[in-house]
A and B are shown apart, each in its own frame.
Chain A
Amino acid sequence: MPPPIDTIRFNETPEGVELGLQVAGPVPRALALLLDTLIRAALVLALTPLLALSGFGLGLMLLGFFLLEWFYPVFFEVRTGATPGKSAFGLRVVHDDGTPVGLAASMIRNLLRVVDFLPALYGAGLVSTLVDRDFRRLGDLAAGTLVVYAQGQERQRAIPEALPQPLPPGLGSETQRAILSFAERGQRLSLARRVELAEILTAVSGENGELAVARVSGWANWLARGPGVRSP
């Protein structure tokens, strides 16, 4: 059986832990690109008043165009890890080992944008992101970079206190994690839904309704806090 499909790439750090990188797909990247294009266009417009300075202003304006055309992404990626458009979608550019992108890799991936743009409007880049497992465009492939989500989701994670109850035998580690997750995320579900979920597990012992929820919370407390007597 092949490994289950996910958009996370694991990368082992020198410290020996597996670091998950959540690669970003074509849709958020296309929208980020659109946003960047708009920002760039606005900056180009903002440069035009320089023409009032005649020849000198024209020179400055052309230099500005040059910088905007080639170095707008490089500048932001090296400084903050993402262009403003990407930041707006919570994306970051990293090397494929997860480290923040450096000058050389950023230059490669952004100069090769020209090829990704071919034949029109990033056609080559689109095909490449659809074909590649990590949604990389040609520039990313050559530079060895990935576009990933910067932040994991903010999760509320407090396991509500309940009287710890020992777990029935035969629940694997996966199920134990699910029970803990149930306790952590339960607050965001409706009561009826919580009851329903808990009843799946407690069907054997026969608890129903809120008793089932209390039972599963008890298990979660047992797992997280041990059998110790809680302070009232």
Chain B
Amino acid sequence: MKQQQFETANTAAWDQYRRLLETLEGGRSGDRAQGEGSVDLDRFPHLYRQVCGHYALACSRGYSPGLSSDLHDLVRRGYCQVYRRRPRLIQPALTFMASHFPRTLRRHALLFWLAMALLFAPMLGMGLATHADGEVIYSLIEATQVAELEAMYDPSNPRPGRGVERQADTDFAMFGFYVMNNVGIGFRSFAGGLILGLGSAFILLFNGSYIGAAAGHLTRLDYGTTFWPFVAGHAPYELTAIAISGAAGLLLGKALLVPGNRTRLAALRVNARDAILLVGGASIMLLLAAVVEAFWSSGPAPAPVKYGVGVAGWLLLGLYLTLAGRGSSHGA
């Protein structure tokens, strides 16, 4: 068949296909096109396959480069429409948190515990050291920062400017700050994993030491009565989430250091897919931690209640991470 016959025979189909493409590309969600074009849209996959066939024919029959490239363009646009993944948010987010996230975490339990150790071991060590010796903290944190820290948790300091009527206002500012700071740390400790896992390990070690030093130092100064109730509420989610982000980073590092039977690049791809799930879950946990930290931890509830909430948080979190997603829909 000569090119011109071929074109005359198929122009109608191409035009229809092109119209449908424009509808699909124009309307962001396919729902809008439900009205008049829905019947036509059912024909789209069929037309798409037809155009694919035409393109292959045009190439093999040696039709003009212009026609081939036009058809190629049509195929490419259709391919994007047929194989696009539309992200939906609420329902998948729930499913994700209810099963995929804890399952993925359990699959990499070893790395998770390694990250926990990297976070908590220096925390404990620095905590004990600074509690025993008042000078140790200055080896890690600068004097001005230490002074700020002390001022923040001084029980005799009635927190100027944080009267009851301004409370909500400042709380929200702190919420913004916590989100930006903590989720940012989580993301960075994930990304640092690409440097052979060293970046993640460093961020975990550093944050562990910093938190430990601050806690030990404040307890030593008898500021523990303001410090511990404040951190009790959000600590479970925040610390665990940072460790999980770190574990995600270590997962990237592992792909580069111990790729197993894959090439390093292939291992990195596979591990990155799991790692991003961990980071996603961890950042949702960090958001929760920010809500708790900003609106509950700074609240007026008495210390025992806050401790109770903290303990309950650890228990629930442990139950969640070990048990969620073990249900019947396995393998589905």
Contacts and interface: CB of A to CB of B under 8 A. Distances in A.
The reply to whether A and B meet directly (CB within 8 Å) is: yes
A142 B252 contact: yes
Taking each of A20, A159, A180, A183, which has the highest tally of chain B beta carbons within 10 Å of its own beta carbon?
A180
B228 interface: no
Contacts of B187: 70, 111, 114
A144 B268 CA distance: 10
A15 B192 contact: no
Contacts of A144: 269
A180 B66 CA distance: 8
Contacts, number: 172
B279 interface: yes
A111 B190 contact: yes
B269 A152 contact: no
B276 A104 contact: yes
Contact of A155 (B53, B62, B66, B188): B66
Contact of B268 (A63, A142, A180): A142
Interface string A52-77: 00111011111101100110000000
B179 A63 contact: yes
B52 A17 contact: yes
Contacts of A99: 79-80, 83-85
A63 to B, nearest CB: 4
A228 to B, nearest CB: 8
Contacts of A13: 52, 75, 79
A82 to B, nearest CB: 12
Taking each of A54, A103, A118, which has the highest tally of chain B beta carbons within 10 Å of its own beta carbon?
A103
A19 B75 contact: yes
B330 interface: no
Contact of B175 (A59, A112, A157, A185): A59
A26 interface: no
B292 interface: no
Contacts of B28: 79
Interface in B149-196: 166, 168-177, 179-180, 183-184, 187-188, 190-192, 194-195
Contacts of B80: 81, 94, 98-100
Contacts of A15: 48-49, 52-53
Contacts of B191: 111-115
Contacts of A107: 276, 279-280
B273 A181 contact: no
A176 B62 contact: yes
B22 interface: no
A138 interface: yes
A108 interface: yes
B115 to A, nearest CB: 17
A231 to B, nearest CB: 12
Contacts of A138: 194
Contacts of A159: 64
A88 to B, nearest CB: 18
Nearest to B186: A111
A66 B269 contact: no
Contacts of A146: none
A148 to B, nearest CB: 10
B2 A226 contact: yes
B269 A61 contact: no
B133 interface: no
Nearest to A173: B62
Contacts of B176: 58-63, 66
Given A79-B28, A115-B199, A157-B67, A16 B3 contact: no
A43 interface: no
A90 interface: no
Given A13-B75, A98-B83, A115-B192, 8 more contacts: A15-B48, A61-B176, A79-B28, A99-B79, A142-B268, A157-B67, A177-B62, A226-B2
Complex A-B, nearest 3 residue pairs according to Cβ-Cβ distance, in ascending order = A157-B66, A62-B176, A59-B176
Interface of A: 13, 15-20, 54-56, 58-63, 65-66, 69-70, 78-79, 81, 94, 97-100, 102-104, 107-108, 111-115, 118, 138, 141-144, 151-153, 155, 157, 159, 173, 176-177, 180-181, 183-185, 220, 223-226
21 contacts: A15-B53, A16-B56, A17-B55, A19-B79, A55-B166, A55-B170, A56-B168, A56-B173, A59-B172, A60-B172, A66-B180, A79-B28, A102-B85, A113-B191, A118-B195, A143-B269, A180-B65, A223-B64, A224-B2, A224-B3, A224-B63
Interface of B: 2-5, 28, 48-49, 52-53, 55-56, 59, 62-67, 69-70, 72-73, 75-76, 79-80, 83-85, 87, 166, 168-177, 179-180, 183-184, 187-188, 190-192, 194-195, 199, 252, 265, 268-269, 272-273, 275-277, 279-280
